[in-house]
């Protein structure tokens, strides 16, 4: 990346400028909070509706507030003095959650609706929204070999029921706040994100964490088998958390991308059966596979077309799945053992 393209050079965000991060008690926003803190930003306000002891990560010397961002007045308080606002708060989870709780997913529209208005009223310079690959037309994802999704594939629209439509509608808010009111907004469509400090149990976890946990559990209990949702031929791409936070920073600070939805995901396509093999390899075990064909599976195939992000940033998420799953597996194993020993764990 040349100096001219360096996001910080464009933005010149001061180290003492107020940054607001919604959803910071969760996985990605927690990692983003740590990332900005490590870059030397001194005024970070991290917000989540979860009580503070339940936050996945608490970064020292960061203002942490437990507040419900679906409430308008709360959003005004949250955005006071904000120079940049990152909205990653949402009621979400893996397929097991978003296929079952569509109303909760749709209700996340309240969060973005109030946060973006509060950010605008507070005079924020930039606003980030975490959209999702679930905003894409499901008709284009019916076979495991479906071609990778490019940004224009969201329209004509037929997003994932509930969760996907909320993302698409909130994207539109971001586009109109730029078009009508001139606030710089950034919209990244995340494809599955995984890594340490992510949800790994409890019903909201996504495939990589769920499979790691099942392998660890089978090993621990000497079970010998593993239940896989679907026939395992479903394909996805998975982005390592470090790539995700670096991508958020670059997208947010790239003026060529204002109000323009962009894929933020890996383009390495992995079948669920392959994911299981990699997790087994890391765990040093081979299990008998039992396929639950009634379980939620989502679309048959989804990958990220990274032509546009390459064109805009000369960059794309590049951590290989095999490389990223190792620390993820080790972290989940530690959580598993800690829980067994009666210690407090994440999720
Ligand atoms: P997460 O569940 O770990 O974090 C989301 C956080 O938002 C949670 O801690 C939750 O308590 C909080 N939250 C929910 N409602 C809130 C409210 N009303 N007020 C304040 N906080 C509230 O999920 P994540 O994986 O970190 O996802 C972050 C964002 O990225 C979400 O918008 C999600 O839709 C999006 N996304 C994630 C993925 C992924 O693979 N993890 C993929 C696509 C998009």
Residue-wise pLDDT tens digits, 177-213: 999 999 999 999 999 999 999 999 999 999 999 999 9
What digits encode the pLDDT tens for the residues 24-38? 999 999 999 999 999
Question: Is residue 94's pLDDT more than 90?
Answer: no
Model confidence at 96, pLDDT cuts 50, 70, 90, reads: confident
DSSP notation for 141-209: GSSTTPPPB-GGGG-S--PPTTHHHHHHHHHHHHHHHHHHH--EEEEEEE--EE-TTS--SSS---HHH
Question: Is residue 7's pLDDT more than 50?
Answer: no
Residues with Cβ within 8 Å of 291's Cβ and at least 6 positions away in sequence, in order, are 227, 228, 229, 230, 231, 232
Question: Is residue 344's pLDDT more than 80?
Answer: yes
Question: Is residue 95's pLDDT more than 90?
Answer: no
By most ligand atoms within 8 Å of CB, the mutation choice from 72, 136, 190 for ligand 1 is: 190
Torsion-angle region of 319 (φ positive above 0: left; ψ -120 to 50: alpha; else: beta): beta
CB of 206 shorter than 6 A to ligand 1: yes
Which residues share a beta bridge with 184? 126
Tell me the average pLDDT across 79-87.
98
Question: Is residue 1's pLDDT more than 90?
Answer: no
Question: Is residue 279's pLDDT more than 90?
Answer: yes
Question: Is residue 166's pLDDT more than 80?
Answer: yes
| Residue with CA nearest ligand 1 atom 1 | 26
Residue 90 CA: which ligand 1 atom is closest?
14
Torsion-angle region of 291 (φ positive above 0: left; ψ -120 to 50: alpha; else: beta): beta
Which residues share a beta bridge with 63? 45
CB of 241 shorter than 6 A to ligand 1: no
Q: What is the model's pLDDT at position 3?
A: 40
Question: Is residue 122's pLDDT more than 60?
Answer: yes
Q: Give the angle 322-208-216 at the CA atoms, nearest 5°.
A: 90
Model confidence at 340, pLDDT cuts 50, 70, 90, reads: very high
Cis peptide before 9 (omega within 30 of 0): no
Model confidence at 6, pLDDT cuts 50, 70, 90, reads: very low
Dist CA 252 CA 293 (whole Å): 40
In the set 35, 56, 86, 163, the catalytic residue is: 163
Per DSSP, 232 falls in state S
| Residue 49 · residue 90 · CB < 8 Å | no
Dist CA 166 CA 56 (whole Å): 25
CA of 225 to the centre of ligand 1 (A): 31
Dist CA 118 CA 245 (whole Å): 24
What is the DSSP pairing of strand 19-22 with strand 84-87? Answer: parallel
Dist CA 172 CA 138 (whole Å): 19
163 in active site: yes
Q: What is the model's pLDDT at position 11?
A: 60
CA of 244 to the centre of ligand 1 (A): 14
CB of 64 shorter than 6 A to ligand 1: no
How much of the chain exceeds pLDDT 70, in percent?
A: 97
CB of 48 shorter than 6 A to ligand 1: yes
CB of 192 shorter than 6 A to ligand 1: yes
Dist CA 198 CA 213 (whole Å): 12
């Amino acid at each position: 990346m040349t100096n001219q393209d360096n996001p910080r050079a464009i933005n010149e965000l001061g180290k003492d400028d107020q940054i607001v991060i919604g959803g910071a008690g969760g996985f990605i926003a927690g990692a983003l909070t740590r990332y900005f803190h490590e870059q030397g930003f001194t005024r970070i306000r991290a917000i989540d509706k979860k009580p503070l002891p339940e936050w996945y990560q608490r970064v020292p010397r960061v203002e942490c507030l437990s507040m419900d961002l679906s409430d308008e007045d709360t959003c005004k308080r949250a955005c006071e003095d904000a120079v940049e606002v990152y909205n990653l708060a949402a009621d979400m989870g893996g397929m097991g959650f978003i296929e079952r709780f569509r109303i909760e997913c749709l209700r996340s529209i309240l969060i973005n609706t109030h946060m973006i208005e509060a950010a605008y009223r507070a005079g924020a310079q930039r606003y980030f929204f975490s959209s999702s690959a679930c905003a894409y037309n499901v008709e284009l994802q019916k076979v495991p070999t479906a071609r990778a999704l490019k940004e224009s594939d969201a329209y004509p629209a037929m997003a994932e029921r509930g969760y996907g439509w909320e993302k698409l509608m909130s994207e539109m808010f971001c586009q109109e706040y730029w078009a009508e009111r001139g606030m710089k907004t950034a919209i990244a469509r995340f494809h599955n994100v995984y890594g340490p400090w992510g949800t790994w149990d409890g019903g909201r976890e996504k495939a990589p964490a769920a499979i790691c946990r099942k392998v660890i559990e089978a090993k621990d209990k000497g079970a010998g088998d593993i239940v896989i949702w679907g026939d395992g031929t479903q394909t996805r791409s998975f982005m390592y958390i470090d790539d995700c936070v670096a991508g958020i920073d670059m997208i947010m600070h790239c003026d060529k991308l204002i109000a323009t939805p962009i894929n933020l995901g890996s383009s390495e396509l992995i079948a669920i059966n392959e994911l299981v093999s990699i997790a087994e390899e890391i765990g040093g075990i081979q299990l008998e596979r039992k396929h639950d064909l009634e379980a939620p599976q989502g679309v048959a195939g989804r990958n990220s077309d990274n032509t546009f992000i390459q064109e805009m940033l000369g960059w794309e998420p590049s951590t290989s799945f095999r490389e990223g799953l190792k620390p993820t597996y080790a972290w989940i194993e530690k959580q598993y053992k800690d829980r067994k020993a009666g210690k407090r764990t994440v999720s």
